[in-house]
Structures are given as structure tokens and as C-alpha cells.
């Protein structure tokens, strides 16, 4: 199984500060990198994280507020300098194609590689190699999407003893059963993978949800996720303000994490007004103890389910 790493590249919201860049999170799965949002300065954060531009295949944009998308032009121009040949896939809300076309027209800029843009208007799913990405609209002031990376389940553990009892000869037939294929033995007996494999092993699941008020859509999307990256722009003292602007407090995000039964909550999109986040962390952990507040360039390794 490939390693799965989550890297919070930019963890601020609305305006950048010296401590926090604008939103972007990378999920690195084996050699493939998937970016979620591309706030201003994302390309520099990618360099600082040592990710390498070559592995970046897909970019998913949550919504068309400037703090989440204005990094895209510079990012794509830099990719053009890397001799990139393969296509880049960008997914985002309706309007993102127009944004790209307007940029091309205004800046007279063409990439040396193909840019394929897909607009997402509602619940959506796209397949990757060994995983899928799902999107669902959330509750912000404009149309906004949360995304989930969901790995395929893996076949259960191979029980050699069971295979031997059924007189399956050791060799290529073992491999076929492990890959989930049914086989026929020379004597005519058919052996199914379920005869020799343990229960399915769940794939990993990571969810990215910014910007949004606390909402049922994220609770649903994040059900049982290993990690939920959720915005938490303010503390409880500014709850009204947060919700009015289409955002969540850290405690509200923690409540979403608790209800979704996730393994870990990572709070991001933190307002620049908080230099010291200990108070925010205490508020969130009172609701959901397995919470961290992201910093720029923090990394988490997500272990496979055995
Ligand atoms: Zn934002
Ligand atoms: Zn926004």
C-alpha cells in the first residue's frame, strides 16, 4: 500500500499573516500529489514542503473566494517552467472555467501542458488509481464544496491454512485468490476468495471541509474518516460573527468531528487574530479530544487499516 501523507501547506483564512499562508492542503499518496485549494503563495509552500511539482496531478478548489484560488495563476505558470508534459486536472465550482479563460486572455498566458477543468455542480465523484474523490456542497455564503479522498477497500488477509485444507496448490493460484479472483481446481472444485480471505480491510479516508458553517453534509461525508480537516476560523466569543460569515467556530468543527466519528480532527483556516491558539485548542478538545490545530507545513502520516 502506498503511504498516505497529509500536509497542511497554508492554514490561515481570509488574509495571510506572517505565521499562516492562505488555504491549501496536500494529500500525497505514493508518488501522486493531490492539492485541495490553492491560496496565494501555495507554490512557495509546495517548495518549502519539498513536495515536488512533478507529482501534482489534480487540484480541487472548494470555492471561488479569493483566499482559496488566487494562487492558481502563479502555480500554473511555475508548472509551465518545469517542462511538464502531462495534463493537469482541476476540479471546482461553476465559474472556475471562466476564471481560467479570463486569466489566459488578460495575461496572454498559455501553459505548455494541457489543463483540464471540470466544474462540479452538486454531489460528485471521480475515480483515481486505488481511490476516489467525492465532493458535496456545504453551507457557506457562496457555493462551496467539501472533498473526501476515499481509498478502495483491500481484500482481507490470506489464510494459508484454509487454502491448504482446500488443497489449493501453492503458487500462482494463491495470488489470484488474494486479488479477489475465483479459481477452479484441477478436480473441478471452485474456490472463492471469501473461502480463504479474512474480512475486507477498509481503505483510508481523509476529508477536507472549508469554508463552511457546521453542517449535516460534512457530518455525512466525513462519517468514519481517519482524518477530517475542517475550518475553525474563530473561538466561541465570535460564534455569531463566524456563522454570519459562513464559517464555523473551532468548537462547532469539533462537534462535526464528534458526530462523524472521525479518527482525528485537524483545524485549519484560522483567523490571523489568534497568535496564541491554546485557547482555541482547549475549546475544541473539550468537545472532541483528538483535535490538533494545523500550522503551515505540518505533516501527518495516515496508517493503513490492518
Ligand atoms: Zn476562506
Ligand atoms: Zn469563503
Which CATH number fits the domain that encloses residue 72?
A: 3.60.15.10
Contact yes or no for 288/257 (Cβ under 8 A)? yes
| 227: in domain | yes
CA of 280 to the centre of ligand 1 (A): 18
For residues 224 and 186, membership in a common domain is answered with: no
Joined grid coordinates for residue 236: 466561541
For residues 187 and 79, membership in a common domain is answered with: no
| 116: in domain | yes
CA of 261 to the centre of ligand 2 (A): 25
For residues 131 and 258, membership in a common domain is answered with: yes
Ligand closest to 37 (CA) is: 1
Is residue 19 annotated as part of the catalytic site, yes or no? Answer: no
For residues 51 and 147, membership in a common domain is answered with: yes
| CA distance to 45, 224, 288, per residue, from 265 (Å) | 22, 12, 8
Residue 219 reports pLDDT greater than 90: yes
Catalytic position from the list 19, 37, 67, 152: 67
| 167: in domain | yes
Would you place residue 116 in the very low, low, confident or very high pLDDT band (cuts 50, 70, 90)? very high
Count structural domains, the chain: 2
| 188: in domain | yes
For position 108, what pLDDT does the model report?
Answer: 87
Residue 83 reports pLDDT greater than 90: no
CA of 23 to the centre of ligand 1 (A): 7
CA of 63 to the centre of ligand 2 (A): 7
Comparing 85-94, 151-160, 277-286, the range with the smallest average pLDDT is: 151-160
Ligand closest to 142 (CA) is: 2
Q: How far apart are CA 90 and CA 64, in angstroms?
A: 13
For residues 186 and 108, membership in a common domain is answered with: no
Q: What is the secondary structure of 194-210 as a DSSP string? A: HHHB-SPBPPPEEEEE-
Ligand closest to 65 (CA) is: 2
Q: How far apart are CA 11 and CA 301, in angstroms?
A: 18
CA of 178 to the centre of ligand 1 (A): 45
Q: At what angle do helices 72-80 and 96-107 cross, to 10 degrees?
A: 60
Residue 278 reports pLDDT greater than 90: yes
Amino acid at each position: 500500500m502506498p503511504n498516505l501523507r497529509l500536509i497542511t501547506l497554508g492554514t490561515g483564512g481570509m488574509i495571510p499573516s506572517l505565521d499562516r499562508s492562505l488555504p491549501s492542503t496536500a494529500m500525497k499518496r505514493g508518488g501522486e500529489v493531490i492539492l485541495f485549494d490553492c491560496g496565494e503563495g501555495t507554490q512557495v509552500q509546495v517548495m518549502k514542503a519539498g513536495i515536488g511539482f512533478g507529482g501534482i496531478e489534480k487540484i480541487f478548489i472548494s470555492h471561488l473566494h479569493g483566499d482559496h484560488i488566487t494562487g492558481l495563476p502563479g502555480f500554473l505558470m511555475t508548472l509551465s517552467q518545469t517542462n511538464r508534459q502531462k495534463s493537469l486536472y482541476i476540479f471546482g465550482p461553476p465559474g472556475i472555467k471562466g476564471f481560467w479563460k479570463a486569466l489566459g486572455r488578460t495575461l496572454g498566458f498559455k501553459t505548455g501542458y494541457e489543463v483540464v477543468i471540470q466544474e462540479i455542480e452538486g454531489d460528485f465523484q471521480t475515480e483515481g488509481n486505488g481511490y476516489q474523490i467525492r465532493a458535496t456542497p456545504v453551507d457557506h455564503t457562496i457555493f462551496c464544496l467539501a472533498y473526501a479522498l476515499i481509498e478502495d477497500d483491500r481484500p482481507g488477509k490470506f489464510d494459508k491454512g484454509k487454502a491448504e485444507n482446500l488443497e489449493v496448490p501453492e503458487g500462482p493460484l494463491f495470488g489470484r485468490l488474494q486479488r479477489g479472483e475465483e479459481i477452479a481446481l484441477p478436480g473441478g472444485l471452485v474456490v472463492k476468495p471469501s473461502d480463504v480471505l479474512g474480512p475486507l480491510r477498509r481503505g483510508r479516508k481523509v476529508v477536507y471541509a472549508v469554508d463552511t458553517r457546521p453542517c449535516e453534509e460534512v457530518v455525512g461525508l466525513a462519517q468514519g474518516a481517519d482524518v477530517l480537516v475542517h475550518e475553525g476560523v474563530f473561538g466561541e466569543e465570535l460564534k455569531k460573527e463566524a456563522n454570519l460569515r459562513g464559517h464555523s467556530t473551532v468548537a462547532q468543527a469539533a462537534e462535526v468531528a464528534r458526530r462523524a466519528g472521525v479518527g482525528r480532527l485537524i483545524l485549519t483556516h484560522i483567523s490571523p487574530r489568534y497568535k496564541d491558539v491554546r485557547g482555541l485548542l482547549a475549546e475544541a478538545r473539550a468537545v472532541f479530544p483528538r483535535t490538533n490545530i494545523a500550522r503551515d507545513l505540518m505533516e501527518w502520516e495516515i496508517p493503513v487499516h490492518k
